[in-house]
Amino acid sequence: MRIATWNVNSITARLPRLLAWLESSGTDVVCLQETKCTEEQFPADALREIGYESAVHAAGRWNGVALVSRVGLEDVVKGLPDGPDYEGTQEPRSIAGTCGPVRLRSVYVPNGREVAHDHYTYKLSWLDALKLSVAEDTAGSRPFAVLGDFNIAPTDDDVWDRSVFEGSTHVTEPERAALASLREAGLSDVVPRPLKYDQPFTYWDYRQLAFPKNRGMRIDLVYGNEPFTKAVKDSFVDREERKGKGASDHAPVVVDLDI
């Protein structure tokens, strides 16, 4: 079974690439983030035509998450129960569902913007709510994973140059402590940290030739419980999908399971 996560940075802009990638990659389930559409605008019909059903949690031009599966899609839960508001709104940043033998949650963790910003405090509160929301699935006997754009680089080796990020979000100790808390609760980082070009990052800015220079970050993560992790037989970043015209600034992260 092949599972992936991909921040597409607009499902409308990326639809041709997504459809082609699904047909060529053999992916059974993909968790999407930053769909940037309403639920009515989500291209469920185009995905259905190639054999995939969809569940989407979205509200407009910002944020938005989805599950796209060709192996079933049941027991869908949108949002985080008791999750924090931002500016009076529960943003569409999490969706969970059962896809065949596995339970998956697609997440788009808040960016945080700046350490002194209200959005940073919101990010940490959101991560606390995520930990509570996944506790039951994490402890269960069914393979379960949280996949998505976490907007956190787990270690200094997960950014191209740590000094560039000094004083910025994505690398602070409170953010990394939140990831560590997920691991302590029973979730493991499935895809190993990058080794430069041999095992690339997952995100590269569009500006200043960041991708050709491999000035990236590993912020798209797969955190699985023990049954999920034991079933993993391979994992990789599909760096080819970051190349060429019309690419997202993120690459898909792919995990193969022996289930």
Tell me the per-residue pLDDT of 7-65, one tens digit each, with 9 for 90 and over: 999 999 999 999 999 999 999 999 999 999 999 999 999 999 999 999 999 998 889 99
Query: Tokens 């992260």 map to which residue?
Result: 253
Report yes or no: 70 and 47 within 8 Å, Cβ to Cβ.
Answer: no
Cα separation, 1 vs 100, whole angstroms = 10
Is the domain defined by 2-257 classed in CATH 3.40.640.10? no
Cα separation, 104 vs 111, whole angstroms = 22
Cα separation, 74 vs 67, whole angstroms = 11
User: Tokens in use for 96?
Assistant: 């969970």
Cα-Cα-Cα-Cα torsion 187, 28, 150, 104, nearest 10 degrees, comes to -50
Annotated domain spans of the chain: 2-257
Cα separation, 167 vs 114, whole angstroms = 9
Q: How many residues does the chain have?
A: 259
- Quote the pLDDT of residue 192: 66
- Quote the pLDDT of residue 91: 96
Given pLDDT bands bounded at 50, 70 and 90, which one contains residue 218? Answer: very high
Residue 214 neighbours by CB distance under 10 Å: 15
Tell me the per-residue pLDDT of 139-198, one tens digit each, with 9 for 90 and over: 999 999 999 999 999 999 899 999 999 999 999 999 999 999 999 999 999 986 555 456
User: Is 233 a residue whose pLDDT tops 90?
Assistant: yes
User: Tokens in use for 204?
Assistant: 């590269």
- Quote the pLDDT of residue 61: 82
- pTM of the entire structure? 0.96
Cα separation, 15 vs 58, whole angstroms = 16
